[in-house]
Amino acid sequence: MPTYPVINKTTGEKQELTMTMKEYETWKGENPDWERDWMEGVGGVTYGKPTQSDGFKEVMSKVQKAHPRANLSRFT
């Protein structure tokens, strides 16, 4: 079941709701002072430079050969 982090626009209070999308839409209509907290649930940190897998590089080099005017050098 989906989880919806929400924040009260006036008080700043935070909650995490677990309900179906249909129930959330109904709840949202009944609670106009609350809105989705988009800062919660955003996760993941990338350290360093992401690298491409060898399989992806091989596919992109084939695409480059088929389309010589395309600049795909950053992927190969």
| Residues whose CB falls within 8 Å of the CB of residue 56, separated by 6 or more in sequence, listed in order | 75
Instruction: Specify the pLDDT at position 39.
Output: 82
Domain boundaries along the sequence of the chain: 1-43, 45-76
Instruction: Specify the pLDDT at position 20.
Output: 94
Residue 12 pLDDT greater than 80, yes or no: yes
Mean pLDDT, range 2-18, rounded to an integer: 93
Q: Which helix (H) or strand (E) holds 53?
A: none
pLDDT tens digits for 28-76? 999 999 999 888 766 666 677 777 888 988 998 899 899 988 888 777 5
Residue 18 pLDDT greater than 90, yes or no: yes
Residue showing tokens 């949202």: 28
pTM over 0.85: no
